[in-house]
Structure formats: structure tokens, C-alpha cells
């Protein structure tokens, strides 16, 4: 396994633990004492993956500039819906950019788009590292889909957007649910069996989260079906032109040498 895949696997493994660790805590006191300290690991890991990608020339200056443009676009789109009723157009540039430019680019695009847009919309809080990690997972998943072209690619990405939107909502509910408190049939019970807590969580998620998740899935898929093809063609032209410039410079450098 190369360094790139190992770094992504490491972040993904820690991220999965970050979402699920309360299910394996034996007492409520351990949950309260643990708090959110675990997620101090996330930002250094995100930074390490980004530095690794840039330092090994997998993301060059042109890609960094384009990354900034897409992050700014995603940030502007997030202010439109701000997540109300699942209207979240921010996922359009994240999914399309991830699909065109690959997994390292996707990872940075997902994390930094959620981070920058949270700063702009006042959405900074203990949930932000979770959002960044979940956004990275959604973007990397789009970049890892099987290769295809034309309308098939658009339909594939739209179908993935439905699944990813539902999964994103589920995991964000999972990070929030242990801190909700209360003594109800859907509350988190520290130290209870995994099966009981899983049952409580899915009832909680179905009764509270799906009202946002389903509209998000439908809206994101609709945007990809209507706008995905022309935007991806434009991004692919940029990608090909950047690759041509690199090849031309390498050729000229080889002639000089």
C-alpha cells in the first residue's frame, strides 16, 4: 500500500472510530469525560494528507488554485440554503470536483469546503470536525466510483448522491445522538448493548433526521442530473489543459537538458 492510500485509510479508520466510539463506552461518566478531545486528531491528519499530496506533486499550483475556486463556489452555495429542509447545493461542486480531479483533491475539497462554509455561515461548533470528515468521505467516494462516460456517468453520480446524502445525514445524527440526553425509548444509554443502542438510534434517526436527509438526496440528485454534465465537461477541459501545460513544460525541460 502506497503512502497516499495509507494516509486516507488511516484518516478513514480514525474517523469511523470518531463517529462510533460512544457505542462502546461502558458508562456515562466516560462519555462525559471523553468529550470531543478525540477530534483534535482530525485537523492535523487532514493537514498531513494535504501536505503529503502537495509535496509529492499530486496536487500542483494549478490544482491548488482550482481547489480555492471550488471551495469559494461551495461556500457561496451553502449560504443559499444553509441546510434548511435539506436544501444544500454545496454538494454539487464537491461531488463534481471530486469526480473529475481524483481522491486527494476530493479529500481536501470535502474537508475545506465544509470548514470554509461553516466560517461564513456561523456554523462553527463541536460538530464541525464531524462535518469535515463526513464531507471528505462523501467526496472520496465520488472520486472512487467506477469509470464511465457521458450520461451514464451523470446517472451514476446522481445515484451515488442519493446514497451519500442519506449516509451523511445518518452519520451526522450518530455524532449528535449521544449528547442529546433524556430518558426516552430513543435515547442513547451508555453501557447498554450494541443491539439496543442501535435500535434506539435508528428509531431516533427515522423520526428526526429523514425529514432533512430525503430532501437533501432528491435535491442533490436533481442538481447533478440538470447541471452535472456541462459543469463536468468544463472541469474536464480545465483538467486536460492543466495536464497539457505540464506535459509541454516537461518536454521543453527535457529538450534543454
Q: What are 151-184's pLDDT values in tens digits?
A: 999 999 999 999 999 999 999 999 888 877 667 7
Residue 158 phi/psi, 5-degree rounding, is -65, -40
Instruction: Say what the pLDDT of residue 123 is.
Output: 78
- 220 has pLDDT over 50: yes
Burial of residue 173 (CB within 10 Å: 0-12, 13-18, 19+) is buried
Residue with the bigger pLDDT between 46 and 69: it is 69
Alpha helix segments (H runs only) across 21-149: 28-34, 42-55, 61-81, 91-101, 103-121, 128-143
Residue with the bigger pLDDT between 1 and 130: it is 130
Residue 245, phi-psi category: left (phi > 0), alpha (psi -120 to 50), beta (remainder): alpha
- 189 has pLDDT over 80: yes
Take residue 3 and report the three cell numbers written for it: 503512502
Q: What are 90-124's pLDDT values in tens digits?
A: 999 999 999 999 888 898 899 899 989 888 887 78
Instruction: Say what the pLDDT of residue 9 is.
Output: 76
What rounded mean pLDDT belongs to the chain? 80
How do the domains of the chain map onto residue ranges? 3-256
CB 106 within 8 A of CB 98: yes
Residues 6+ away with beta carbon under 8 Å from 55? none
Instruction: Say what the pLDDT of residue 149 is.
Output: 85
Instruction: Say what the pLDDT of residue 163 is.
Output: 96
**Diameter of the chain by CA atoms?**
74
Estimate the crossing angle of helix 210-256 against helix 194-208, to 10 degrees: 100
Give the model's confidence band at 246: pLDDT under 50 very low, under 70 low, under 90 confident, else very high: very low
Take residue 44 and report the three cell numbers written for it: 492535523
- 238 has pLDDT over 90: no
Give the model's confidence band at 245: pLDDT under 50 very low, under 70 low, under 90 confident, else very high: very low
Instruction: Say what the pLDDT of residue 50 is.
Output: 58
- Please give the share of the chain, as a percent, with pLDDT higher than 90: 33
C-alpha span between 219 and 239 (Å, rounded): 27
Instruction: Say what the pLDDT of residue 49 is.
Output: 62
Amino acid at each position: 500500500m502506497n503512502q497516499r492510500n495509507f494516509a486516507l485509510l488511516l484518516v478513514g479508520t480514525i474517523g469511523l472510530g470518531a463517529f462510533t466510539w460512544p457505542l462502546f463506552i461502558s458508562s456515562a461518566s466516560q462519555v462525559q469525560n471523553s468529550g470531543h478531545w478525540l477530534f483534535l486528531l482530525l485537523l492535523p491528519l487532514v493537514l498531513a494528507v494535504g501536505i503529503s499530496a502537495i509535496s509529492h506533486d499530486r496536487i500542483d499550483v494549478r490544482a491548488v488554485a482550482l481547489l480555492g475556486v471550488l471551495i469559494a463556489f461551495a461556500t457561496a452555495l451553502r449560504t443559499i440554503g444553509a441546510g434548511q429542509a435539506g436544501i444544500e447545493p454545496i454538494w454539487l461542486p464537491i461531488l463534481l470536483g471530486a469526480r473529475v480531479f481524483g481522491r486527494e483533491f476530493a479529500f481536501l475539497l470535502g474537508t475545506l469546503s465544509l470548514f470554509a462554509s461553516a466560517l461564513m455561515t456561523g456554523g462553527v461548533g463541536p460538530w464541525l470536525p464531524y462535518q469535515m470528515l463526513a464531507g471528505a468521505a462523501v467526496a472520496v467516494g465520488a472520486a472512487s466510483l467506477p469509470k464511465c462516460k457521458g450520461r451514464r456517468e451523470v446517472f451514476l453520480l446522481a445515484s451515488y448522491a442519493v446514497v451519500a446524502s442519506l449516509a451523511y445525514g445518518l452519520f451526522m445524527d450518530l455524532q449528535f445522538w449521544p449528547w442529546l440526553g433524556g430518558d426516552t425509548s430513543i435515547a442513547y444509554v451508555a453501557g447498554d448493548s450494541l443491539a439496543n443502542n442501535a435500535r434506539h438510534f435508528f428509531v431516533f434517526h427515522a423520526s428526526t433526521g429523514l425529514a432533512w436527509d430525503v430532501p437533501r438526496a432528491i435535491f442533490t440528485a436533481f442538481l447533478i442530473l440538470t447541471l452535472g454534465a456541462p459543469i463536468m465537461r468544463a472541469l474536464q477541459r480545465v483538467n486536460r489543459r492543466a495536464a497539457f501545460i505540464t506535459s509541454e513544460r516537461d518536454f521543453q525541460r527535457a529538450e534543454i537538458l
